[in-house]
Structure 1
Amino acid sequence: MDFLRPSSLGEALAVKAERPGAVPIAGGTDVMVELNFDHRRPAALLDLTGIAELTEWSAGHGTIRLGSGVPYVRVIGELGERLPALAMASRTVGSPQIRNRGTVGGNLGAASPAGDTHPVLLASGAKVEAASVRGTRLIDADDFYLGVKRNALEPDELITAVHLPSAPGPQQFAKVGTRNAMVIAVCSFAVALHPEREAVGAAVGSAAPTPRRATAAEEFLAAELSDTGLWTTRAPIADSVRRRFGELAASAAAPIDDVRGSADYREHALSVLARRTLSWAWNSYQGGARSCA
C-alpha cells in the first residue's frame, strides 16, 4: 500500500486524478477502522492532513464555508451559534479524541447512513463542494447520498468543503443510542426552522439505506405554521400538530432490524425524536426556553 502525502490542494487533486483509487484520509476515524479490521485494502492512501486550506472556515453572505478538514471540536467551539444543529451533532460523535480528529468531510466521504452529521446537512440545505483538476462543483446534500456508503463523488474528486446557511432560526438534533456519544445511532433526527421563508427542514438518519429528508413532515409543518399565523404570533404549537409531525417524520424512514434495534423501535423512536426536537426548536423560537442539545 502506497502512502501519498501532498502538501497543497492542487497537488492532492493532481494525485487523485492520476490515481483515482487512492483513498483520502484525514482524521482516519473511519478509514483506519476498516484497515485494522481488514475490511478494506486500497492500493494507496492519500493523506490530506498537510493541506492547510482544508482546515479553514469562512463566513459570507449568510453562508458558512466549512473546510472538509475542520475537526468536530472546532465546529463545537467556533460555530455553535452560527450552526447550532451541526454543533449539537458534533458533540455526540465518538469520544473527545475522535472529535479532535474526525471531520464533517470524513463523515460525508464515508457516507454511512448512521453518520451523525448527515441529517443536519439535509435539514439545513447544505451543499457539498467537490473539486478535481477539472474544476469545482457544488452538490446538494439531497443528491449526495446514493446508497449505503456510496456518494455522488466522481473517482477523481475530493470533498473540499461544505456550504451551510448560517442558521436563520432555531435548529435541533437528537439521536437514540445506548448513550449520547461513543455509540452508533440507532436512529437520529434533525429539524431546522427557516422563519424568513416560512419553511421547515427535517431529516432522519440511521433508519434507511441513506440519510433522508422527511419531506412530508416538512411540508405539513410549514403549511400548518403559515395557515395558523404561528410564524408571526409564535404561539404554542398544538399537541395534535406535534404528533402528526412525528408520524410523518417516522414515515420517511425505511428501517431494518439489526443488532442495535428493530425496525418498529426505530419508527417509534423517530416519531418521539421529531416531536421533542420540534418542541425544543419552537421553545427557542418563542424566546422563552433554553435550547436543548
Structure 2
Amino acid sequence: MEFLSPSTLEEALEAKSAHPDGVPIMGGTDVMVELNFDKRRPSTLIDLARVPELGEWGTDGDHTRLGAGVPYSKIVEHLSRSAPALAKASRTVASPQIRNRGSVGGNLGGASPAGDAHPPLLATDAVVELASVRGRRRVPAREFYLSLRRTARQDDELITAVLLPEPKGPQQFAKIGTRNAMVISVAAFSLALDAEKRTVGTGLGSVAPTPIRAEEAEEFLAAEFDWEGATLPSESLVRRFGELVASVTRPIDDQRGTAQYRTHSMAVMARRALTWSATEYRKGVTRCA
C-alpha cells in the first residue's frame, strides 16, 4: 500500500488525479476501522491532514464555508449559531475522541445513509464543493447522494468544503440509537424553517439506501404553517406532518432496528422537531413584535 502525504491542496489534487482509486484519509474514523477489519485494502492512501485549507472555516457571501476536514468538536464550539442543525448533529457523533477527529467531509466521502451530518445538510439546502486538477464545482447536497454509498463525486475529485446557508429560522436535529453514545443511528431527522422564503427543509437518515428528503411533507408544512407566528400548529397538523415524513421511508431490518421501528420513530421525531421549531419560532416573533 502506497502512502501519500501532500501538504497543499494542489499537491492533494495532483495525487488524487494520479491515483483515482486512492482513498483520502484525514480523521480516519471510518477508513481505519475498515482497514483494521480487513474490509478494505486500497492500493493508495492519501493523507490530507497537512492540507491547511481543509481545516478552515469562514464566511463566503451569505454562506458559511466549512472546510471538509473541520472536526465535529470545532463545529459544536464555533458554528452553533451559523449552522445550528449541523452543530446539534455534531454533538451526537460518537465519543469526544471521535468528534475531535471525524468531519463532515468524511461523512460525505463514506456516504453511509446513517451518517449524522447528512440530514442537516439536506434540510438546510447546503452545497458540497468538489475539486480536482480540472477545477472546482459545487453540487447541492440534495443532488449529491445518488444511490447506496454512491455520490456525485468523480474518482479524481476531493471533497474540499461544504457551504452552509445562513439560518433564517429554527433548525432541529433528532436521532435515535440503541444507547446515548458510541452507536450508529437507528434513524435520524432534521428540520429547517426558512422564515424569509417561507419554505421548509427536511433530511432523513438511516431509513433508505441514501439520505433522503420528505418533499410532500415540506410542501404541506410550508402551506399550513403560521408564518406570522401567532399560533402553534394544531395536533392534527403535527400528526399529519409526521405521517407524511414517515411515508417516504424505505428502511430495512438489521441488527440496530427493524424497518417498522424506523418508520415509527421517524414520525415521532418529525412531530417533536416541528413542535420544538414552532415554539422557538413563536418566541422569536413575539420578541420582535
Q: Quickly name the TM-score band, shorter chain normalised.
A: over 0.9
- Identify the residue that residue 79 of structure 2 maps to in structure 1: 79
Q: C-alpha offsets along residues 191-239 of structure 1, whole Å, 9 cap, x if unaligned?
A: 00001000000121000000001101100000112xxxx1013411101
Aligned equivalents of 1:274, 1:166: Cα separation in 2: 22
- Identify the residue that residue 56 of structure 1 maps to in structure 2: 56
- The answer to whether 1:106 aligns with 2:106 is yes
- Check whether the contact 2:188–2:205 (CA below 8 A) recurs between aligned residues: yes
- The answer to whether 1:282 aligns with 2:287 is no
- Check whether the contact 1:234–1:285 (CA below 8 A) recurs between aligned residues: no
Count of aligned residue pairs for this structure pair:
284
- Check whether the contact 1:204–1:252 (CA below 8 A) recurs between aligned residues: no
Task: Report the secondary structure of 1:202's partner residue.
Answer: strand
Greater Cα offset, 180-189 or 190-199: 180-189
Deviation at 1:120, TM superposition (A): 0.4
Aligned equivalents of 1:147, 1:220: Cα separation in 2: 26
- Identify the residue that residue 246 of structure 1 maps to in structure 2: 242
Deviation at 1:252, TM superposition (A): 1.5
What is the letter of the counterpart of residue 233 of structure 1?
Answer: G
- Check whether the contact 1:110–1:149 (CA below 8 A) recurs between aligned residues: yes
- Identify the residue that residue 259 of structure 2 maps to in structure 1: 263
- Identify the residue that residue 145 of structure 1 maps to in structure 2: 145
Deviation at 1:95, TM superposition (A): 0.2
Task: Report the secondary structure of 1:7's partner residue.
Answer: coil
Deviation at 1:74, TM superposition (A): 0.3
| 1:169–1:49 Cα change, 3 Å | same
Deviation at 1:60, TM superposition (A): 3.6
Task: Report the secondary structure of 1:274's partner residue.
Answer: helix
Superposition TM-score, scaled by structure 2 size = 0.97
- Check whether the contact 1:17–1:133 (CA below 8 A) recurs between aligned residues: yes
Question: Where does 1:160-179 land on structure 2 (aligned, <5 Å)?
Answer: 160-179=160-179
% identical aligned pairs: 59
Aligned equivalents of 1:66, 1:94: Cα separation in 2: 20
Aligned equivalents of 2:230, 2:134: Cα separation in 1: 48
Aligned equivalents of 1:60, 1:111: Cα separation in 2: 25
Greater Cα offset, 53-62 or 24-33: 53-62
Aligned equivalents of 2:192, 2:262: Cα separation in 1: 21
Aligned equivalents of 2:142, 2:249: Cα separation in 1: 15
- Identify the residue that residue 221 of structure 1 maps to in structure 2: 221
Deviation at 1:240, TM superposition (A): 0.5
Deviation at 1:61, TM superposition (A): 2.8
Give RMSD over aligned pairs: 0.9
- Check whether the contact 1:207–1:256 (CA below 8 A) recurs between aligned residues: yes
Is there any run of 5+ residues in structure 2 with no aligned partner, and where?
285-289
Deviation at 1:181, TM superposition (A): 2.8
What is the letter of the counterpart of residue 24 of structure 1?
Answer: P
What is the letter of the counterpart of residue 283 of structure 1?
Answer: T
Task: Report the secondary structure of 1:33's partner residue.
Answer: helix
- Identify the residue that residue 43 of structure 2 maps to in structure 1: 43
- Identify the residue that residue 211 of structure 1 maps to in structure 2: 211
Deviation at 1:35, TM superposition (A): 0.4
Deviation at 1:114, TM superposition (A): 0.2
Is there any run of 5+ residues in structure 1 with no aligned partner, and where?
289-293
- The answer to whether 1:128 aligns with 2:128 is yes
What is the letter of the counterpart of residue 286 of structure 1?
Answer: R
What is the letter of the counterpart of residue 22 of structure 1?
Answer: G
- Identify the residue that residue 287 of structure 2 maps to in structure 1: none
